[in-house]
Amino acid sequence: MSFWIIFKLLGSLALLMFGMKSMSESLQKMAGPQLRHVLGAMTTNRVTGMLTGTLVTASVQSSTATTVMTVSFVNAGLLTLAQAISVIMGANIGTTLTAWIMSAGMSFDITSAVYPAFFMGIILIYQKKYRYIGDFLFGLSFLLLGLGTLRSTGTEMHLGENQALLDFFASFDPNSFLTTLIFLILGGVLTFCVQSSAAVMAITMILCSSGALPIYQGIALVMGENIGTTITSNLAALSANTQARRAAFAHMFFNVFGVIWILFVFHAFVDMVCGWVGYDVNMTKETAGTSAFLANAAKLNFVLAAFHTSFNVINTFILIWFIPQIEKFVCWVIKSKSIDEEEDFRLHFITAGFMKTPELSVLEAQKEIQAFSDRMQRMFSMVRELLILSASSTGKKKSDQETEFNRLFTRIEKYESISDNMELEIANYLDQVSDAHLSDDTKAKIRAMLREISELESIGDSCYNMARTISRKYQGKEDHFTESQYEHLHQMMELTNNTLTLMNQLMSGRKESFDMNRTFNTEHEINNYRNQLKQQNIIDVNNHEYTYAVGTIYMDIVNECEKLGDYVVNVVEARMGTRFRE
């Protein structure tokens, strides 16, 4: 029988965690894009930033999701780190709503009410228009069913009458600072191990409301949960970029600072919260009787929720005035890496483990593709520089010029390898994201992004092909291009660079304000110029202006520019979600 109760306890915890995850994801599918716009627009100062973080987190029931969105905006330059810190402070307040939902679920028998919600949920799931509402109802129902089962399991276990358990907790002096410290560490370790502060909060509520765990130790566990949940995000952010690690560290600093100051006023603060809820701290089973003692203990769920809220609200009120100092501190602790990021192959926005929500993972992937696109234009600029070097007739020694040429060609080779790796890494990431349950809009975005990275990699290949052609002519015995050939190549490359610039404007901005006809017109201009140069090349070779071999190399570069323009149009089509050429 004891094994059955243990499995029932573990199963109900699993239901709780799954319900919380499903509810959060469905809320983000319903409101994710709108909330991202809110987050970008409503963070003009520290107060609005804090309120926005509270609103967004309460809406999606996930402080992790809010933190991830915030970091992505910092990386994109839409938010400063100081604004991000204010949003993270608000996220800590917003996440306390979860504790109130759980305390209500643990205090009242709501299991019978979840079955109509399940029935309504399955009907809505099969209606395409309302399926996310159905997912939300299912997630909420699983959450409440898990809480109700936990409540009944705790009652079955008679924890408040288990003398061995009572004696164990009684062995800790509630007035001792060491006891508070032990339970605080225990709460942090448990949260880190199970990767869910909601699950540890539920266990704490069962132990407290049954009368087994004294309130002071229970509150210490809740404080530990606040720190434990930030350890997870900090470890996940180790592989992330500097701004992500700073935001995660600011989150940890916020909670650790709060725990430190509250330890100085611990008993007085807990007694004050208990007074608000109407819980008698001094009542014992011996003095008041079992029934009165258990009725008093039942209020502890609301004490824990009230403490969690008041702790985060007061901590935010204290720290919100010191955001500039917190920003300086986290920047001092986590310094930027002194490396040439252009030469370093490393995904800056996509970080394994840091993303927990598929819908938001897509946002991070878009930032990574934007960086990929910028890198390809830099690569093309190097090819233009290589062409200039190949024609250079300055006073430099031949050996110095050759060294410079080879150095630049090696950089282009490295960029080509980077483009291959970026395509592979982003594609693998999107493949993992696509395994999750996604909205139709997000699925379409992933398909478009897979096409974008394929075309961007092709742009890298075109750049490398041009560089190899230039290098072959430079290292070989062929004559130099004529002055008019160089002039035509520079003009063709200028047109190609213009279309790359238009592509990057689209990748870094909003597609609603982008005029795709400009890209089409530039590509059409490239095609016409290529045809014109092709005809002129035949005439010039026949007139012995240059050799056939030089003319072939010349047209190889021209044709590669035209191909590159086609790839750019393909990227723009994928991002815009439409085709605008036949």
pLDDT in tens, 442-479: 788 888 999 999 999 999 999 999 999 999 888 876 66
**How is domain 358-576 classified at the CATH fold level?**
Methane Monooxygenase Hydroxylase; Chain G, domain 1 (1.20.58)
Least confident of 147-151, 346-350, 545-549: 346-350
Q: What is the reported pLDDT for 355?
A: 47
**What is the 8-class DSSP label of residue 213?**
S
Mean pLDDT of 405-434: 88
Q: Are 231 and 239 in contact (CB under 8 A)?
A: no
Nearest 10 degrees: Cα torsion 57, 63, 67, 69: -50
Mean pLDDT of 540-558: 90
Q: Which two tokens stand for residue 293?
A: 């003692």
pLDDT digits (tens, 9 = 90+) for 108-163: 666 677 788 888 888 888 887 777 788 878 887 887 787 777 767 766 666 656 66
Residue 370 has pLDDT above 50, yes or no: yes
Q: How far is CA 106 from the centre of its chain?
A: 32
Residue extents of the structural domains in the chain: 2-333, 358-576
Angle in degrees, 0-180, between the axes of helices 2-41 and 358-391, rounded to the nearest 10:
50
Q: What is the reported pLDDT for 163?
A: 63
Residue with tokens 């996509």: 350
Residue 339 has pLDDT above 50, yes or no: no
pLDDT above 90 covers what percent of the chain? 18
Pick 107 or 449 by higher pLDDT. Answer: 449
For the chain, the average pLDDT equals 79
